């Protein structure tokens, strides 16, 4: 990072409630409490690290309003409502200066079909391909080497990173952010076994992505067999995730890295799925349910469930089963003792 | 989708054995029995949904020949041998109209080595790279931004989607279909540990893909250390699958999403592997064996085996072990009672 | 492969200690002991295959110096210190002839920012994008369709395969090798849950890759929330691996395919992680620790640990627990017998 802020500038950017201490140093980097050095900004994001604050060498610290303590010489405490949110606000400002939105226009190396409808405020970077009938909304950015298939639609304010492929007829709403290498609209994995061969079932549906969805690097979302594979508004999907055909994901869900969701599964709103978990086909995860990392779940979950393990059971039961499982050597011995009586 | 068929056109396309009912509506979409509305086509693909047929609002329904029941007014039943196959036939027709094969020729933005041999009926889309000595057969399509390395060979009738990378010397037979982002011929993961460092073992083999193979988005198939990594005719591989060096996969196998197959493993014909399963190196999965989702298998399987779990055991044993595992709290209590006697 | 070596040329290339037998055949391929045919070279890499040597039809065999036995007519034994290392040396030579380093220069189809600093000995292949302020060192190769973001840095002697994306401000040291489709510098997966929505935490850090690191096809390494995600010198990462934000990986580690490492985890030097394992956030795997395939580990490991299973326990305990787990049906019966007494 190449930042250069005075402590007063930072106090203003984060909306500090109160300031304590003074420094003439400028802030040039951000670091954790324990690794920060002079010239760094740090923050208390989690009370369990409270004891590290007095020892931190950071020049500026973002602290909760009720933190009791005073800065060292040449150090500034900025008291804020929520240090994590304050930091995010500062980082958003830094992000804008690091990566300002590229100007409108189409790079001459991009290959654009005559019938594509591209808003004049959109940015189409080098070596993108936009096929016939595709649409791109106001202020959207296709960074470089992005493929947009025929009749696909991208709304306003989207940011599509290099190497993404958005298949024909698929659609992204507004402010969707795709990390590099995301594939939207690959064929669903469907075959009929006929006379010793797996005959392809054509996959003629689409993928529909809602507002404010973010999808991680190299994730793949298959188009529906027919009708639509859906990702609801505000849902965030991590890297290397597989979303099979006809999956319907609700609003504001979290899907962590390397999760696989099989065909026609439904996630209701606010579902959270831990990394490397697998969700079976044709089941529903009820609203707000949570699935632990590496869990294998193949039955429908009631809203608010919290399951873990393969096969998945309730979090509390699994914790108990794990303890007992590790006591099996003892149990076998106890039974042997009883048998000798 | 933008389709527009009369019920008579559909009856002809699917080869209906018998028709019941009439409608003047045209069919414009396909939907499941329960979600279909007027103007939709639906189908009974699985007898367990039989009770949904009389309630379905679909305008045209594909039903098995022995289905007993009569359509509502303004509704048509089409009786067919196999509704799923009939639907696939209809969808194949729709697929062709949505995505007709692009015309022969090489897009001017593609970068083609002078010594590449490209059949004049092949289509090379924008921004593809074809290196020296590479060959592309009759009617094959490289959609866009595809990389074909030196001396690589693609047979007839293949369809390679955007962003695929096919490494030097690798070969695809006929009618191979690669979803976006597939990597064929990355280096195998092989090192010798010498004096505290992992020294690279060069990977100079190739990857050989048989007829009618399909590979899902962002999957990666490593080239052999020497000789060949092989995928047999008719095998279908899902998204985000890892095939390590020197793996030999037989004919007509199914490999689901996020599976990892370690080096030098062999899959005989007709093997099926569930999502996120892992196959150890240097083992053989016998003909027709099945491996459940998330299974970890590190020993050779007899033909026709069905295993599940980590460590993998027979499906029947695993089901029993799962039940007993969940009864551990009870077992511990029973042993405690016995000890108090 | 298209190689063509006499046995004398091979003896010289591998530094044979001693030769036995003669042949006039040239060597044109490499194969395992059991599958080799006349004209092939083979080798005894593992003593457990010793019995296959006398039966091998290979024309030239690389054998350990202490191997007792004599070649058949028209067959040559080459005795070497370490047959695997000797083979690797030969393969390295073949690799160089198959894929010689491309000549310096920038392909005219590449899109290069005026302010990029590219060493004149570097090779920038077709359809690459190099943004403002990016730097590329001596002898490095960007093969084709590689994206290098603003202010990113690539050292000397790197080889970046087609379709890789290296984000803004990220850096690769020297001799780094990226397989196709690798993403370096995607956003970390960080959100704050505020008023029913997951608000993005900007990810303004970078990724720093050390000397001699190799990363497999379609793997994704996220940029840090702030500061740096780090991969240490000599570490090798396989295909489809997810490295989350702020992870710090030490030197000379091995990370196998489809592993997921969650945010802020630390791997000390010489850690080995088996395929599909998951590493929890904010934990440390001590120096030289080993994590088995498909393991789920969510606590800090002492140096030299060897764990396996989900939840992870020591290898020896897990082996014992697995045996006892499979004896549960018997244990339940034994308890029932005791209860009837």
Active-site position among C245, C252, C282, C325: C245
Q: How far apart are CA C140 and CA C123, in angstroms?
A: 6
Q: How far apart are CA B148 and CA B115, in angstroms?
A: 13
Average pLDDT of span A227-249 = 98
Locate B26 and state its tokens: 């045209």
> Closest approach of chain B CAs to the CA of A240, in angstroms?
7
Classify strands C197-200 and C177-178 as parallel, antiparallel or unpaired.
unpaired
Instruction: Give yes or no for a contact between B14 and B5, defined as CB atoms under 8 angstroms apart.
Output: no
Phi/psi class of residue B292: alpha, beta or left (left: φ > 0; alpha: ψ in -120 to 50)? Answer: beta
Q: How far apart are CA C146 and CA B131, in angstroms?
A: 16
% residues pLDDT > 90 (chain A): 94
Interchain contact, C186 vs A161, CB within 8 Å: yes
Which residue, among A246, A278, A245, A275, has the nearest Cα to A261 in the 3D structure?
A278
Whether residues A94 and A241 fall in one domain: no
Provide the pLDDT for residue B2: 64
Provide the pLDDT for residue C341: 83
> Into how many domains does chain C fold?
2
Which of B:108-167 have CB within 8 Å of A? 109, 125-127, 143-145, 161-163
Q: Tell me: the pLDDT tens digits for A106-121?
A: 999 999 999 999 999 9
Phi/psi class of residue C55: alpha, beta or left (left: φ > 0; alpha: ψ in -120 to 50)? Answer: alpha
CATH of residue B195's domain is 2.160.10.10
* pLDDT of residue B1 exceeding 60: no
**A340 occurs within a structural domain:** no
**B324 occurs within a structural domain:** no
Whether residue A311 is preceded by a cis peptide bond, meaning omega within 30 degrees of 0, is yes
Top-confidence range, A88-97, C24-33, C147-156: C147-156
Whether residues A205 and A261 fall in one domain: yes
Locate C100 and state its tokens: 């010689």
Provide the pLDDT for residue B309: 94
CA dihedral A87, A91, A92, A98 (to 10 degrees): 170
Instruction: Give yes or no for a contact between C31 and C54, defined as CB atoms under 8 angstroms apart.
Output: no
Which residue, among B263, B261, B288, B266, has the nearest Cα to B277 in the 3D structure?
B261
Whether residues A114 and A132 fall in one domain: yes
Average pLDDT of span A273-297 = 98
Residue C97 DSSP label? H
Provide the pLDDT for residue B341: 83
- Band (A2; pLDDT cuts 50, 70, 90): low
Q: How far apart are CA B288 and CA B35, in angstroms?
A: 36
The residues with which C111 forms a beta bridge, in sequence order, are: C129
Comparing CB atoms, the residue among B127, B183, B338 nearest residue C127 is: B127
Locate A316 and state its tokens: 């509390």
Q: How far apart are CA A178 and CA A161, in angstroms?
A: 6
Q: Tell me: the pLDDT tens digits for B303-336?
A: 999 999 999 999 999 999 999 999 999 999 999 9
Instruction: Give yes or no for a contact between B267 and B288, defined as CB atoms under 8 angstroms apart.
Output: no
Provide the pLDDT for residue C237: 98
Provide the pLDDT for residue C13: 93
Instruction: Give yes or no for a contact between B154 and B169, defined as CB atoms under 8 angstroms apart.
Output: no
**B341 occurs within a structural domain:** no
Whether residues B214 and B243 fall in one domain: yes
Average pLDDT of span B282-292 = 98
**Kind and range of the H or E run holding B14:** helix B7-14
CATH of residue B22's domain is 3.40.1390.10
**C332 occurs within a structural domain:** no
A338 φ, ψ (degrees, to nearest 5): -60, -40
Provide the pLDDT for residue C2: 64
% residues pLDDT > 70 (chain B): 99
Average pLDDT of span B224-236 = 96
Locate A271 and state its tokens: 């579902």
Listed residues A98, A118, A137: the one ending a domain:
A98
Q: Which residues of B touch C88 (CB under 8 A)?
A: 192, 199-202
Interchain contact, B326 vs A313, CB within 8 Å: yes
Question: Across all residues in chain C, what is the average pLDDT?
Answer: 96
Whether residue C311 is preceded by a cis peptide bond, meaning omega within 30 degrees of 0, is yes
Whether residues A74 and A141 fall in one domain: no
Provide the pLDDT for residue B16: 95
Whether residues B79 and B135 fall in one domain: no
Listed residues A98, A128, A160: the one ending a domain:
A98
Whether residues C91 and C124 fall in one domain: no
- Band (C70; pLDDT cuts 50, 70, 90): very high
Provide the pLDDT for residue C179: 98
The residues with which C237 forms a beta bridge, in sequence order, are: C215, C255
Whether residues C78 and C176 fall in one domain: no
Q: How far apart are CA A235 and CA A285, in angstroms?
A: 15
**C340 occurs within a structural domain:** no
Whether residues C186 and C275 fall in one domain: yes
Whether residues A191 and A311 fall in one domain: yes
Whether residues C26 and C63 fall in one domain: yes
Q: Tell me: the pLDDT tens digits for B171-217?
A: 999 999 999 999 999 999 999 999 999 999 999 999 999 999 999 99
Listed residues A79, A98, A117: the one ending a domain:
A98
Output the CA–CA distances (angstroms, integers) from residue C337 to A333, A335, C341, in the order listed. 16, 11, 7
* pLDDT of residue C51 exceeding 80: yes
- How much is the ipTM here? 0.95
Q: Is C103 on the interface with B (CB under 8 A)?
A: no
Output the CA–CA distances (angstroms, integers) from residue A78 to A12, A53, B32, C6, C296, in the order listed. 10, 12, 58, 75, 39
Q: Report long-range pairs for A18-21 (Cβ below 8 Å, ≥24 apart).
A: A18/A65, A18/A78, A18/A79, A19/A76, A19/A77, A19/A78, A19/A79, A20/A70, A20/A71, A20/A76, A20/A77, A20/A79, A21/A70, A21/A71, A21/A72, A21/A73, A21/A75, A21/A76, A21/A77
Whether residues C78 and C160 fall in one domain: no
Classify strands C313-314 and C306-308 as parallel, antiparallel or unpaired.
antiparallel
Q: Which residue range(s) make up the domain with C80?
A: 7-98
Direct distance between the N- and C-terminal alpha carbons of chain C, in angstroms, rounded to an integer: 73
Which residue, among C282, C312, C281, C306, has the nearest Cα to C294 in the 3D structure?
C312
Average pLDDT of span C14-20 = 95
Locate A59 and state its tokens: 């020049």
Q: How far apart are CA A99 and CA A95, in angstroms?
A: 6
* pLDDT of residue A287 exceeding 60: yes
Give the residue ranges of DSSP H helices in chain A: 7-14, 83-98, 315-326, 328-340
Mutate to test the interface with B, among C108, C176, C256, C257 (most CBs of B within 10 A): C257
Q: Is A194 on the interface with B (CB under 8 A)?
A: yes
Q: Tell me: the pLDDT tens digits for C166-194?
A: 999 999 999 999 999 999 999 999 999 99
Q: Which residues of A touch B177 (CB under 8 A)?
A: 187
Locate C84 and state its tokens: 């695997």
Q: Is C246 on the interface with B (CB under 8 A)?
A: no
Comparing CB atoms, the residue among C91, C238, C335 nearest residue B331 is: C335
Q: Which residues of B are catalytic?
A: 245
Locate C165 and state its tokens: 């994306």
Average pLDDT of span C290-312 = 97
* pLDDT of residue A1 exceeding 60: no
Q: Tell me: the pLDDT tens digits for B29-47?
A: 999 999 999 999 999 998 8
**C336 occurs within a structural domain:** no
Q: Tell me: the pLDDT tens digits for A19-71?
A: 999 999 999 899 999 999 999 999 999 889 999 999 999 999 999 999 999 99
**Kind and range of the H or E run holding C328:** helix C328-340
Strand ranges of the sheet holding C206-209, from the earlier edge strand across to the other edge: C117-118, C135-136, C153-154, C171-172, C206-209, C228-231, C248-249, C266-267, C284-285
Provide the pLDDT for residue C289: 98
Mutate to test the interface with C, among A161, A217, A308 (most CBs of C within 10 A): A217
Sign of the Cα pseudo-torsion (C151, C152, C157, C161, in order): negative
**A23 occurs within a structural domain:** yes
Q: Report long-range pairs for A144-152 (Cβ below 8 Å, ≥24 apart).
A: A144/C111, A144/C129, A144/C147, A145/B127, A145/B145, A145/C127, A145/C129, A145/C145, A145/C147, A147/B143, A147/B144, A147/B145, A147/B162, A147/B163, A147/B180, A148/A116, A149/A185, A150/A113, A150/B99, A152/A185
| DSSP calls for C125-170 | -TT-EE-TT-EE-TT-EE-SS-EE-TT-EE-SS-EE-TT-EE-TT-
Annotate B31-65 with three-state secondary structure.
CCCCCCCCCEEEECCCHHHHHHCCCCCCCEEEEEC
Residue C50 DSSP label? G
Instruction: Give yes or no for a contact between C142 and C160, defined as CB atoms under 8 angstroms apart.
Output: yes
Q: How far apart are CA B24 and CA A65, in angstroms?
A: 70
**C324 occurs within a structural domain:** no
Q: Which residues of C touch A127 (CB under 8 A)?
A: 111, 127, 129, 145
Query: Model-level pTM?
Result: 0.96
């Amino acid at each position: 990072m190449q930042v250069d802020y005075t402590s007063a500038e930072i106090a203003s950017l984060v909306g500090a409630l109160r300031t304590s201490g003074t420094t003439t140093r400028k802030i040039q980097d951000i670091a954790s409490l324990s690794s920060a050095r002079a010239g760094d900004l740090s923050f208390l994001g989690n009370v369990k690290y409270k004891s590290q604050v007095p020892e931190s060498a950071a020049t500026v610290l973002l602290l909760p309003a009720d933190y009791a303590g005073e800065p060292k010489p040449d150090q500034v405490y900025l008291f804020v409502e929520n240090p994590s949110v304050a930091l995010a606000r500062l980082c958003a400002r830094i992000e804008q200066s690091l990566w300002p939105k590229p100007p409108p226009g189409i790079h001459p190396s991009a290959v654009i079909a005559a019938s594509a409808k591209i808003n004049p405020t959109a940015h189409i970077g080098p070596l993108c391909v936009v096929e016939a009938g595709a649409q791109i909304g106001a202020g959207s950015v296709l960074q470089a080497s992005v493929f947009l298939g025929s009749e696909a639609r991208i709304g306003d304010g989207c940011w599509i990173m290099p190497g993404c492929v958005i298949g024909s007829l698929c659609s992204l709403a507004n402010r969707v952010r795709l990390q590099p290498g995301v594939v939207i609209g690959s064929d669903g994995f469907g075959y009929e076994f006929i006379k010793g061969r797996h005959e392809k079932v054509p996959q003629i549906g689409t993928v529909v992505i809602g507002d404010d969805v973010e999808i991680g690097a190299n994730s793949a979302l298959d188009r529906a067999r027919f009708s639509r594979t859906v990702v609801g508004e505000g849902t965030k999907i991590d890297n290397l995730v597989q979303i099979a055909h006809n999956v319907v994901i609700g609003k504001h869900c979290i899907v962590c890295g390397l999760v696989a969701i099989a065909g026609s599964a439904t996630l209701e709103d606010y579902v959270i799925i831990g990394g490397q978990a697998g969700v079976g086909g044709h089941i529903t995860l009820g609203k707000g349910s949570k699935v632990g990392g590496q869990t294998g779940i193949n039955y429908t979950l009631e809203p608010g469930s919290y399951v873990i393990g393969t096969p998945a059971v309730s979090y509390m039961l699994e914790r108990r089963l794990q303890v007992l499982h590790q006591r099996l050597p003892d149990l076998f011995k106890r039974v042997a003792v009883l048998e000798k009586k």
